[in-house]
A and B are shown apart, each in its own frame.
Chain A
């Protein structure tokens, strides 16, 4: 028998208590379903967070289990030697220039002239990525002009400190000898010195 409004009205009149019970049950069903769906929707991001937190917790646990302390090597006062310094504070750039001039003269180059210049147009060198400090290529370069032999300038290149990177070498020979122009990029630590 098709359900019509008239039949529903008849039913609700004849079975008043049952009709009220059905209405309350339907209302409760709808409320429960809506609440349940809402809870289920909230559950999805919570579970995602839970999974993420679980992964992090496992990583922390694994890290703590794998970590082996070394009282000597982990002493904060222990640092790498200056020869391994990979950056130069801006305030120390003059010292760097002096160091470069000394190294050039030490390998036998003559007429050494060190000067600061704009960064070279050549591709910038890759700079190291560290956790404790940001190392970047400085907004200035260092040019070294000198005279001597090709072997001497190659030796000079080999002895450059780690805090500079070779950008360009230009060698010109004339009747007075060979003249070299070496352009260097400087790694600079904007905040703190990177002496290991």
Chain B
């Protein structure tokens, strides 16, 4: 039973609509209340409307409902077929039903009963052993009418079964047993007779055809029991029901039970204890059928998620599902790329606007900063120029002062180079002897070479071309002419100049 929701069972038939509220107990199920709307229904829709009326009259909401449907084209059948999958059995059952009942396109449902292995142990195989199938069917219009159900009252229909299967569930719920048993349920539409052997429902006999409102009398029911017993005995190797379970109206139960006992000689006991009417008993059976592991259910339940998935993930639908899933993933990926692109563009546009406004805002600051930088660079350039000149003049002055006695310069040329300065000094040196003159020149060139930053120093010397040279000093000893060239690094000159 569903926790928190009330449980109802109902019988819908041409002659009566019965609603039962059930409550679960440790020992089984208990009828809390029953409501009956007697009278013929013109159609299944009419009967369902009457049931809805009963539900509304009792303000039933948010409940579960199990239906047992009689008449309106609903039929049932019991078959014995080898064990096989539903896909294999379904067309076999459909053809058999069409053959037996002559219905062109019914809705058919079936459920499996117990196995009945008749082969010897060597040939026995549980997979293919004959198995009882309970089959129920109805015209598609009837099922469609059921599907227009009770959603507005939040009522969940658990099952819509047939009367014999409801009796079957009731039989087992009430103890059942393996004893050959006949079950007679006297509904308004006529008596339903079922035979059980070893606990199996072997035979279910519908009520005899009768006129509307013509209720079966006790002799008619006795005749039906007799015919049913004969058929049961013939079909099942002489089996004879040793008891009869009866569900009849309170007023006719005793007379009917006594007549059966006297005519058939078998004990009669109630199918369901209490004051429940036969219709209510069948409704309770429908509730029990809904609780069974494999109910015989004609109700068109919407497919569950697993049903949908199993349909989608099978056969060609699997390829469709995979391709659609791949397309969906590609679509999501493409959308994410476009979303990222749009986001990046928006962010970029926003940032550009921010940068643009920022540039505009900092333009005066930038101008000030550039002016500051220009000031700094100008000052640095002036200082650099001063340092360069100072270092050069200091170096030249120092070289001039380091010239020893007897050395004099005739010319000096200094020109800018990439790394510093290129210098060339032409002059004369005189001494008492040639050795002294050369020594003085050597000392001078060494002192120049030793200066920091001086490189590539070259010294050439010789003798004056003639005494007629205007710079020759007569009587001063030996005189040499010389030429010194060297490179003066700018940085080194600056360092040397700063140090001296």
Contact = CB atoms under 8 A, between A and B. Distances in A.
Contacts of A168: 413-416
A166 B392 contact: yes
Given A64-B361, A69-B368, A175-B471, A53 B319 contact: no
B233 interface: no
B334 A33 contact: yes
Contacts, number: 189
Interface stretch (A21-29, A92-100, A109-117): A21-29
A54 B352 CA distance: 9
Contacts of B409: 171, 173
A64 B370 CA distance: 14
A182 to B, nearest CB: 10
Given A22-B319, A123-B416, A132-B374, A157 B361 contact: no
Contact of A154 (B320, B366, B397, B418): B397
A123 B418 contact: yes
Interface string A62-93: 01100101000110100010001010000000
B316 A122 contact: no
B320 A35 contact: no
Interface residues of A, number: 69
A187 B312 CA distance: 87
Given A53-B355, A122-B415, A158 B389 contact: yes
Contacts of A132: 370-371, 374
Interface in B322-351: 323-324, 326-327, 330-331, 333-334, 337-338, 340-341, 344-345, 347-348, 351
A150 B319 CA distance: 103
A54 to B, nearest CB: 6
Contacts of A171: 409, 411-413
Contacts of A67: 362, 365, 368-369
A25 B345 contact: no
A128 B384 CA distance: 10
Given A53-B352, A63-B365, A76-B371, A169 B324 contact: no
Given A169-B413, A175-B471, A25 B323 contact: yes
Nearest to B400: A150
Nearest to A168: B415
B381 A154 contact: no
Contacts of A25: 320, 323-324, 326-327
A86 B381 contact: yes
Contact of A80 (B378, B390, B417): B378
A136 interface: no
Given A36-B333, A36-B334, A122-B417, A60 B362 contact: yes
Interface of B: 316-317, 319-320, 323-324, 326-327, 330-331, 333-334, 337-338, 340-341, 344-345, 347-348, 351-352, 354-355, 358-359, 361-362, 365-366, 368-375, 377-379, 381-382, 385-386, 388-390, 392-393, 396-397, 400, 408-418, 470-471
Given A76-B371, A150-B400, A154-B396, 5 more contacts: A25-B324, A26-B323, A32-B330, A32-B334, A132-B370
19 contacts: A21-B320, A21-B324, A25-B323, A25-B324, A29-B326, A36-B334, A46-B348, A67-B362, A86-B378, A120-B415, A123-B417, A150-B396, A150-B412, A154-B396, A162-B385, A167-B415, A168-B413, A171-B409, A196-B375
Counting from the closest, the 5 A-B pairs by CB-CB distance are A36-B334, A25-B323, A131-B370, A32-B330, A39-B337
